[in-house]
Amino acid sequence: MAGGSGKKQESGEGCTLLEHPALFINRELSWLEFNRRVLSEAMDRTHPLLERVKFLSIFSNNLDEFFMIRVSGLQRQLARGVREAPPDGMSPAFQLSEIHRTLEPMLEQQSDLWEKEIVPALHDEGIHIMSYRDLSSEEKVLLRDYFQREIYPVLTPLAFDPSHPFPFISNLSLNLAVILKHHSAGKENFARIKVPTTLFPRLIRTPPGGTLSDSGDDIRLVFLEELIAANLDLLFPGYLVEGAYPFRVTRDADLEIEEDEASDLLTVVEESIEMRRVGSPVRVEVVHGMPLPACGIIGKKLGIAAEMFYQVSAPLGMADLMELAGLDRPDIRDLPFIPSVPAGLGDKDGIFSRIREKDALLFHPYESFIPVISMLRQAAHDPAVLAIKITLYRVGRNSPIVDALLEARENGKVVAALIELKARFDEENNIGWARALERAGVHVVYGLPGLKVHAKICMVVRREQDGLRTYVHMSTGNYNAASSRVYTDFGLFTADPAIGADAADLFNALTGCAAPPSYRKLLVAPHTLRQGILSRIEREIERHREYGDGCIIFKMNALVDRDCIVALYRASQEGVLVQLQVRGICCLRPGSPGVSETIRVTSIVGRFLEHARLYYFRNGGKEEVLLGSADLMPRNLDRRVEVLFPVEDPAIASWLMRTIIPVHLDDNVKNRMLLLDGTYIRVSREPGQPAGNAQEWCVSHRAEWEGQKRNAPQKS
């Protein structure tokens, strides 16, 4: 579209040519393309079978969250008459229509994959997903007995007719719509039964009594809802059961917290969590074959339109297949590996001397999270340590990080923890940890009004011979030992005095009421991060105009922010080489003539969740590498506390730019390339070119990294 020098030119519609809606991919449709890539991993036969099941589960879980948050938001905009359009110009109504149009074939593809490929492949491996009607007579007798003893007592059939109100359908619950006919009256009746998936496994082993964790050659499994449907005569004596059809309702789960009116944020968040059960319905999933009258009754009672219904033939709620993916069958799972621990960082007592000697970078999950835990455990017991301060966003259950903080408090250290109560879908977990830490005497702060604290930073203040020294750990990922095994993230240890001072200023701003300071080395949202990125892009443009050697490389989870995209378009117009690896949403269109011809966008979806954020600027040979918690999205730059931190150690920076980034950019197995039209294709492999899978390469080469990260090569 637009060409030229990159100077501001008006389009005649109140925006510059580089802000024209045609130059932006819709955020929601870009996310659906990301989830399509997840589904394609389930289709990839090079994955072990249970890993393919895992991707099917992730695809469904992703969709649940998408509807609960993004689709619900669009429906609220539609109901409230919101007219402000996103950068791509799509109205809420058009976005909802496009979402439905895009999703229907994907759901059909998911169903076909499960029924025609995954189930037969599981059968070949001795894992039999049985239809109830195909069970033997003996199995049916045993299962009926199990149903009467274990399941029947907890079921509550609810009729809906003029004398019975329509029962409440909670968010993401699996239900059976039962059509009944009285033996004598002949009139049809309807009832609903909630399938108790929170009390029983979704897949019931036959004969009953065994579990998925039991060993054995062959296992036979039947879905819980099929078992219930086959025994409904026990629940409705005197009636003929004409049909039982699974359905599922998704509700608006995006918490709207009026923080200005909240005297106690913790209590308000607790009360808001309960509202997720009763939010407005945004989607109804039904199985193919459910009679139209039953669909009509559900739609009428819920007050939703026909376009909010999705018919599928596969089992509903396939996120529950994670039960199956966890089956103890190492022969059809990814080969396990033990993350490496860099020298000096695994020592029980010497981690502070190692960090004082030289910065250290961890690359999870290839390198262990243990050093992070060790630093806090050592700090908890070290008499020289005076204080620990940390931000906690998603901590997880049974957290060794929280245990270390509790130990530190028991040993008389000053401990401050900023726990973000508004971390979506982790609110309950974080509330529990907040209360436990408060009981132990930890200074707990719940977050800032109007902002989420998404930064991942920890500081330890230690008294040493030459005075107080601050040790800092900063990361692209959460302080969560479980996710560190499946998310790719960078974590930096440093004793740099300027970064230590920045960390202290940041925590004072977070826990006190001081005005946000200027920072020495850190970029901190919402105050300095956006401008820090934009000014560096501009610096690269100016450098390229004079010397022609401009280069920008970003690796992140999402690129949505209009200002940042326009800045990258301007850089491309000037000829700057721009390489972007964006795992998920990308609203930038690469390859647009005269606008983004020098921009290449790729995405890796593989065994691990690509979660690291890296921002590289060649800067005329004075290369600058920033890592941190922020993606380039308006929420990260304007409505969150985020931190980007510099990698100043020459050896570490060189290792990142000469080894790790090229391996990921050159991946020709899992890399997909974004096209101008918003679709993705697999990166092609040249004839004779060896396969290069970045994640597999990192697993096999992790033991070699320590020397590279500690010894900077001579630049040619």
pLDDT tens sequence across 14-71:
457 899 999 999 999 999 999 999 999 999 999 999 999 999 999 999 999 999 999 9
Burial of 591 (0-12, 13-18, 19+ CB in 10 A): middle
Active site residue 454: yes
Res. 687 pLDDT band, cuts 50 70 90? confident
- At 666 the pLDDT is 96
Report the distance separating Cα 641 and Cα 122, nearest Å. Answer: 46
Q: What is the pLDDT of residues 286-319, one digit of tens each?
A: 999 899 888 888 888 888 888 899 999 879 999 9
Angle at 158 between CA 156 and CA 160, to 5 degrees: 175
Q: What is the pLDDT of residues 600-648, one digit of tens each?
A: 999 999 999 999 999 999 999 999 999 999 999 999 999 999 999 999 9
Q: Could you give phi then psi for residue 653, rounded to 5 degrees? A: -60, -40
Average pLDDT over the chain, rounded to an integer: 90
Tokens of 455: 């930064």
- At 281 the pLDDT is 92
Tokens of 358: 């030289």
Which of helix, strand or coil describes residue 104? helix
- At 216 the pLDDT is 55
- At 434 the pLDDT is 82
CA distances from 168 to 53, 159, 280, 281, 303 (A): 32, 12, 12, 11, 13
Query: Of 363, 425, 486, 558, which is closest to residue 55 (Cα–Cα)?
Result: 486
| Lowest-confidence pick of 261-270, 411-420, 659-668, 676-685 | 261-270
- At 303 the pLDDT is 87
Residue 270 has pLDDT above 70, yes or no: no
Report the distance separating Cα 445 and Cα 614, nearest Å. Answer: 29
Residue 276 has pLDDT above 60, yes or no: no
Same fold, 48-332 and 354-521: no
CA distances from 519 to 628, 641, 651 (A): 15, 14, 25
- At 293 the pLDDT is 85
Report the distance separating Cα 531 and Cα 525, nearest Å. Answer: 9
CA atoms within 13 A on the CB side of 60: 26
Which of helix, strand or coil describes residue 51? helix
Q: What is the pLDDT of residues 126-162, one digit of tens each?
A: 999 999 999 999 999 999 999 999 999 999 999 876 5
Q: What is the largest CA-CA distance in the chain?
A: 93
- At 1 the pLDDT is 35
Q: What is the pLDDT of residues 240-254, one digit of tens each?
A: 999 999 999 999 987
Which of helix, strand or coil describes residue 109? helix
- At 713 the pLDDT is 58
Q: What is the pLDDT of residues 167-190, one digit of tens each?
A: 889 899 999 999 998 877 667 888
Res. 79 pLDDT band, cuts 50 70 90? confident
Angle at 61 between CA 699 and CA 122, to 5 degrees: 70
User: Which CATH number is 354-521's, of 3.20.10.10, 3.30.870.10, 3.40.50.12240, 3.40.50.1820?
Assistant: 3.30.870.10
Query: Of 386, 442, 400, which is closest to residue 417 (Cα–Cα)?
Result: 442
Residue 8 has pLDDT above 50, yes or no: no
Report the distance separating Cα 144 and Cα 154, nearest Å. Answer: 15
DSSP-assigned beta bridge partners for residue 241: 180
What is the bridge-based pairing of β-strands 127-129 and 219-223? Answer: parallel
Res. 716 pLDDT band, cuts 50 70 90? very low
Peptide bond connecting 365 to the previous residue in cis, omega within 30 degrees of 0: yes
What is the bridge-based pairing of β-strands 487-494 and 467-475? Answer: antiparallel
Res. 259 pLDDT band, cuts 50 70 90? very low
pLDDT cut 70: percent of the chain above it: 90
- How crowded is residue 575: how many other Cβ atoms within 10 Å of its Cβ? 13
Q: What is the pLDDT of residues 424-456, one digit of tens each?
A: 666 777 788 788 899 999 998 887 878 889 999
Domain boundaries of the chain, sorted by first residue: 48-332, 354-521, 524-710
Tell me which fold the domain 48-332 belongs to: polyphosphate kinase like (3.30.1840)
Domain 524-710 - what CATH class? alpha beta
Q: What is the pLDDT of residues 327-345, one digit of tens each?
A: 999 999 999 999 999 888 8
* Cβ 360 vs Cβ 341: under 8 Å: no
Res. 263 pLDDT band, cuts 50 70 90? very low
Identified catalytic residue from 454, 473, 611, 664: 454
360 or 274: which carries more pLDDT confidence? 360
Tokens of 667: 């991946």
Q: What is the pLDDT of residues 501-552, one digit of tens each?
A: 999 999 999 988 776 678 999 999 999 999 999 999 999 999 999 999 999 9
DSSP state of 279: S
DSSP-assigned beta bridge partners for residue 178: 191, 244
